[in-house]
Structure 1
Amino acid sequence: MKTEAVVRRYSRQVRSLVIGRRAQRAKLVVLGQHANEGLLAKAFIYFMLSIIAYLYLQPFFYMISTMLKGLADLLDPTVKWIPRTVDWNNLSRAFDGLKYPRSFFNSLLLAGGGSLLQVFVCAMTGFALARLQFPGKKLFFALVFLTFLIPPQVIMIPLFVTFSKLGWLNTPFVFLVPALFGQGIKSALFIIIFRQFFHSLPKALEEAAMIDGASMFRLFFRIMLPLASSACLVVFLFSFIWYWNESYLTSMFLSNDFTPLSNKLSNLEATIFGDNPSMAVMSQNPVTEGTKMAGAFLIVFPPLVLYMIAQRWFVQGIERTGLVD
């Protein structure tokens, strides 16, 4: 009898121990050992990420859906996301109204040329501020940072007068020449990015190159600039997007002779139907919301493809430019 009682007690202890371990395992699975490892935390994180993704992607999905709708689907309130019939005429009308080939070349010239110049000039300036010692270095950096704080509207009239006297209005020089001298769109931010990146590199590289007899220019072009390829990609993509989407400065300095895509969209309706379209013309060939969304898609598509190609290196560059020494 005593043996059976001992066995039963031992069995109960083993059973309770097994149940306790299972409960502990289930608790670890649900809650996790750390705050972000359990199923509950992961479900909450995925829920929040799904909401954020919807908020960011909903306008893009709306643009695609509206672009593919015909006039009947646009006027039908029951058609929300999926059109009954796909209307490709919206794309063709937007393509013609934007004068896409020429406007695309103008935008590519401004965005590509300005971005490449900013990468080169801002990299040199950031390297100088990070590695070189010269009189007035702190004052120069303060002035660079000040240009980032001053809104462009404050200096718009002096810039317009200056460019007019130089004969640069309605030409790409109003954007390319300032970028060549480190005064392009958001150049101060890019200088700060490069300065932060070059600060993160070990000084042993610079000392070893100087011992081998390398000049400062050779040190920059042969060692520092290749190491800064990730930062160059980040600056190029940011600069490209800002130049591509710029509409305020382009509307002030550029006319119809040299108009990028960002300004063509606002004049899409007038371009297709003239400055004063009659109601008869509007009823026969209306500018629908689908045409405008198609024009927006044609403008967004090139930088979107560029980002999709360079996404991996862009994320790596963002991580590296955030390092501190």
Structure 2
Amino acid sequence: MESLPSQWQQAKQQIQRVWFGRGAQKAKRLVIGQNLNDGIAAKAIIMMMLSFIAYLYLQPLLYMVTTMIKPLADLLDPTIKWIPRSLDWSNLQKAWYGLQYPEAFRNTLFIALCCSIFQVAVCAITGYALARLQFFGRNFAFFLIILTFLVPPQIIIIPLYTIYGQLGWLNTPLVFLIPALFGQGLRSALFIIIFRQFFSTLPKALEEAAKMDGASGLYLFARIMLPLARPAALVVFLFSFIWYWNMYYEPSMFLSTNFTPLSIRLSSLETVLLGPNLTGLVTAQNPITEGTKMAGAFMIIAPPLLVYMVTQRWFVESIDRTGLIE
């Protein structure tokens, strides 16, 4: 018969094995997780991947900000890449005057804001008609809309330039306002598809109940369907505003003088700073004007960034509700 101390030792060892076994299981569950994707290791890997992707996206912006505040001595020093020895805010002042920022900002804001409002109104009506109304040639009309989305703008730029020249619209905002007003603006086909997709998901009982109460087609669209389409309208407005704000190819063809937006002013900023005689003698990454060009680029992208930061929550919710991510 075993003695009492030996039995106590065996019981103690058994308790320790059970205790450490449970502790090992808890530690394993904590590190790996129950489903291999909710543990510390999986979360650490996901955070590392997200941090790397965020760095790839933010690196151009960080380079822009650090370059625009560098003095000329730091720009000429190859050992200084990110953190300058001193801060120089004169590049922002040079970019302000070189871009003629107040005037160019008004021109860009006028085009982006007016065209975006026109796009929302016209594309909403067109998308509603394609989604809810029955008329002859509806599918063919939708096919033509998709076709305009697939055709690159470079193919039709010469006919458009000729037509706008004959109408006297060149170097005026009419080259963007009139097409947007008639559903032929920048990427209007995509916005029509977004509205069509959204209106197709709404129940038909809303229209039937409104028609039973004597509502006309215009009243039904303006007072019932359009308020329900606020998520789609917000998505279309933000997309349209950003694309009109950042567009370069179309303004470079139609707005070469007089009514020029910020994108055109930025392309000619180096000529304004150095003069036409010295511009051809420098490289693309000229350290003399690199900080000023980065400052000008930052001043151009700052307003859309502020707009997105303010409307980010509603924008994400609207993207989810419109079904665009599907």
- For normalisation by structure 2, the TM-score amounts to 0.92
Pairwise mapping of residues 1-325 of structure 1 onto structure 2 (< 5 A)? 1=1, 12-277=13-278, 287-322=288-323
In structure 2, the CA distance between the partners of 1:290 and 1:323, relative to structure 1 (3 Å rule), is: closer
Closer/same/farther in 2, CA of residues 204 and 30 from structure 1, 3 Å limit = farther
Distance 1:35-1:176 versus aligned 2 partners, 3 A rule: farther
* Number of residue pairs the alignment of both structures matches: 320
Instruction: Please tell me whether the aligned partners of residues 63 and 297 of structure 1 are also in contact (alpha carbons under 8 angstroms).
Output: yes
Q: Distance in 1 between matches of 2:311 and 2:300?
A: 18
CA positional deviation for 1:24: 2.4
- The C-alpha deviation readout for 1:189-221, integer Å capped at 9, x for no partner, is 111111111122222222222222222221221
Alpha-carbon distance, 1:21 to partner:
2.8
Distance 1:150 1:24, change over 3 A: same
Amino acid at match of 1:121: V
Q: Retained in 1: the 8 A contact 2:194–2:324?
A: no
Structure 1 residue 33 displacement after superposition: 2.0
* Larger displacement relative to structure 2 (68-77 or 19-28): 19-28
Please give the alpha-carbon distance, in whole angstroms, between the structure 1 residues aligned to 2:198 and 2:172: 34
**1:255 aligned partner, one-letter code:** S
Map of 1:283 onto structure 2: none
Stretch deviating more after TM superposition (196-205 or 148-157): 196-205
Moved more, 215-224 or 162-171: 215-224
2:155 aligned counterpart, secondary structure: coil
Q: Is the 8 A contact 1:29 1:39 kept in 2?
A: yes
Deviation digits for residues 99-124 of structure 1, max 9, x if unmatched? 11110011001111111110111111
Contact residue 196 and residue 324 of structure 1 kept, 8 A: no
The Cα shift of 1:34 comes to: 2.3
| Match of residue 284 from structure 2 | none
Aligned-partner Cα distance in 2 for 1:319–1:19? 47
CA offset at residue 65 of structure 1?
Answer: 0.4
Structure 1 residues 10-31: Cα deviation after superposition (integer angstroms, max 9, x where no partner): 6555544433332222222112
Q: C-alpha distance in 2, partners of 1:20/1:103? A: 70
Shift of 1:2: 6.7
Residues 103, 261 of structure 1: 8 Å contact kept: yes
Residues 56/198 of structure 1: CA separation in 2 closer, same or farther (3 Å cut)? same
Matched AA of 2:298 = F
CA contact (8 A) 1:98 1:295 kept: yes
CA contact (8 A) 1:200 1:324 kept: no
Shift of 1:7: 6.7
Identify if the C-alpha distance between structure 1 residues 233 and 3 changes in structure 2 by more than 3 Å, giving closer, same or farther: farther
> Structure 2, unaligned stretches of length 5 or more?
282-286
SS in 1 for 2:276: coil
TM-score under structure 1 length normalisation: 0.92
